[in-house]
Amino acid sequence: MLKRILDILISATALVLLSPVYAYIAYQVKKNLGTPVLFRQTRPGRYGKPFQMVKFRTMKDAWDENGHPLPDSERLTPFGQMLRASSLDELPELWNVLKGEMSLVGPRPLLMEYLPLYSEQQAKRHLVRPGITGHAQVNGRNAIGWAQKFELDTWYVENRSLWLDLQILLKTVHKVIARADIHSAGEATMSKFTGNEPDAVYAVYGAAGCGRSLMPVARACLAQTDPYARLYFIDDSLTGEAEINDHKALNYNDFLSLPHTQKHVLIAIANSRIRAAIAEKLQLDGIRLWSVIADEALLMDDVEIGAGAAISPFVTIGSNVKIGRAFHANLYSYAEHDCVIGDYVTFAPGVQCNGNVRIGDHAYIGAAAVIKQGTPDQPLLIGEGAVIGMGAVVTKNVAPGITVAGNPARPLTQTQTNKA
């Protein structure tokens, strides 16, 4: 009862005090996105009872040639991203709080279509009113997977108190100011929940040095997103089941024959051409490329990473970097702001790729290599299939297929290349 009284008092006061802010945001939404200004959608409330949740609109209307809405990443405008990053789009939900459909703190209201997909434990999140913020929002928000998000929600339901609500509200203020955990890596919005996938199985393709180095990272990622799923090595040299570093290992055909309906694979092969061939094989067999990003890696704002990436510990990806499929970034490497990196590119340990660099598909950047910063109007170019030698300092464009080494980096002769 006291929680509900506080919800009414705080939401009513905020609606009055923030009315000039509401008016200004509404004007800006109409100016940037047109009408309607508000986004309304039916969401499940307490005990799953439907209600109309209201937010400020952040996406433009856009459809493909078949009349289907374009992906969120293509409809979400820079203005909409700003609203979401600052959580200003959530302000109209105070009206839902005042009406008793929501609370200031509680599990976030998701989609109606998710209701039949929850496990019995996950469904407990609907024993309380949904919230504008919640325990999951201050402990990862969109940067964590669904399984962990639901665990945090049900923990809140089982341990809720006014003191806990106050802690969550204070942490929310900090998160909003820091604009933390707004996106999933490589995605504009949180990916869709499709169920708990009890039949999902995962594998690291390759059990040589690259694969064995990435397996601990893959295992840690899976513990957060799908802790009950099985994780294998795939090693094509095997003729039967084996064990490598306490993980079962199979050849590809045996993995393919597993009865699981969902299969996800991280390709841990250093050779980019082999990675590409395996990726094509996986696609033909209906297997999803799996991206693995170490907890110790740092991804800054508006980073886009294609499927199948392997991001090792202590890697840094700067703001507004765009990366293609099956990118490998080894320990302590970094790509600074506004870089564009193609498909199947490899960074060896300690690579220093400074801002405004364009790297073509299948390029290999050797250990401790340094790439000079370009400019927005004249980025430094590394051509497709180029090889940057260990410790090289690249100060000029590198043509496609060329191998360079030294400080400053220069093309190797054919004799030097053969010796290398």
Question: Per this entry, what is the length of the chain?
Answer: 420
Q: Does residue 36 have a cis peptide bond before it, meaning omega lies within 30 degrees of 0?
A: yes
Sign of CA dihedral 155, 158, 159, 161: positive
Q: Does residue 408 have a cis peptide bond before it, meaning omega lies within 30 degrees of 0?
A: yes
Distances (CA, A) of 354 to 193, 318, 349, 379, 408: 36, 9, 15, 10, 16
Token look-up 């109409």 returns 30
Distance of CA 409 to the CA centre of its chain: 35
Q: State yes or no: is 337 an active-site residue.
A: yes
Q: Which SS3 state, helix, strand or coil, does residue 282 take?
A: helix
| Cβ-contact 165, 104 below 8 angstroms | yes
Using CA atoms, how far apart are residues 216 and 410, in angstroms rounded to an integer?
37
Task: Write out the H or E segment, with its range, that includes residue 244.
Answer: strand 242-244
Closest by CA to 185, choosing from 331, 23, 63, 329, is: 329
Sign of CA dihedral 105, 106, 109, 112: negative
Alpha helix segments (H runs only) across 207-300: 209-225, 252-256, 272-284
What DSSP letter does each residue of 311-377 carry, written as one string?
Answer: E-TT-EE-TT-EE-TT-EE-TT-EE-TT-EE-TT-EE-TT-EE-SSEEE-TT-EE-TT-EE----SS
Distance of CA 271 to the CA centre of its chain: 25
Count CB neighbours of 128 within 10 A. Answer: 20
Count CB neighbours of 266 within 10 A. Answer: 25
| Cβ-contact 131, 87 below 8 angstroms | no
Q: Which SS3 state, helix, strand or coil, does residue 54 take?
A: strand
Find the catalytic residue in 183, 247, 264, 337: 337
Catalytic residues: 337
